[in-house]
Each structure stands twice: as C-alpha cells, then as structure tokens.
C-alpha cells in the first residue's frame, strides 16, 4: 500500500503543478519556489511529517520535500547556534541534495551531449 500512496500523492502533486503551469501565467521557476516554500511552511506548521509518513516518496521526492529539508535544517541550526542558524541551517541541510543534483547533472551532460534549444 505504501507504493500506491506514494504513486497517487506524487501524481496528484505533479498534476496540480501542471494545472498551475497551464492555467496561470506563472513561470516554472516561480512554481518551483512556490513548492519549496509550501514544503517549508507545512513543515513549520507540523503538517508535513504526518503527510510524508502517509505518502512516503510521493511527498518526499518532489520540491515540497526539499522545502521540508531546508526547514528542518534551519530549526536544528537555530537550536544550536541561535539567530545565526537562520542563515546557515538551510545551506547545511540542503548541501548534499544540491551537490548530488549538480554532479549527476554534469555526468549526464558528459554522457548524453546536451544541445541548446533554438
């Protein structure tokens, strides 16, 4: 049942994003920021963790999950370092995922020979 929940929740998130892209004038970058901020707000309100337990990877993989990771990092850094943790916590928590995306993107560009759009 975990796979089914992950599939339909992840699909629903993607479908909602597609509706936003088709029916509004929002650019994809702004929609991505909206998803990350929504994940951070849901994490702050304490709603994201129960949602993630229910949906598994369907909630943890999309950009909502990245917002949750950033918020967790900020919470932990504020507890340890105080006010300065607001500025450093998100970087520490998101560094691994961001680095992996950059490295794998670069490796894929070496293998698949990307071309610019015309």
Q: What is the mean pLDDT of residues 70-85?
A: 89
Do 35 and 41 touch, CB atoms closer than 8 A?
no
Cα separation of the two ends of the chain = 44
Mean pLDDT of the chain: 88
* 106 pLDDT tier (thresholds 50, 70, 90): very high
The sign one gets for the Cα dihedral 38, 43, 46, 52 is positive
Give the pTM. 0.77
* 114 pLDDT tier (thresholds 50, 70, 90): confident
Plot region of 113 (φ>0 → left; ψ -120 to 50 → alpha; else → beta) = left
Closest-CA residue to 10 (of 67, 59, 63, 65): 59
């Amino acid at each position: 049942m975990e796979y089914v929940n992950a599939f339909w929740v992840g699909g629903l998130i993607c479908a909602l994003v597609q509706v936003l892209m088709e029916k509004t004038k929002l650019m994809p970058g702004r929609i991505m920021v909206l998803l990350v901020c929504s994940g951070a707000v849901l994490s702050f309100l304490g709603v994201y963790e129960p949602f993630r337990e229910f949906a598994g990877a369907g909630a943890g993989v999309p950009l909502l999950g990245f917002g949750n990771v950033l918020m967790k990092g900020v919470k932990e850094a504020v507890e340890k370092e105080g006010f300065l943790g607001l500025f450093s916590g998100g970087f520490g928590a998101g560094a691994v995922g961001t680095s992996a995306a950059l490295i794998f993107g670069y490796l894929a560009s070496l293998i698949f020979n990307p071309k610019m759009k015309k």
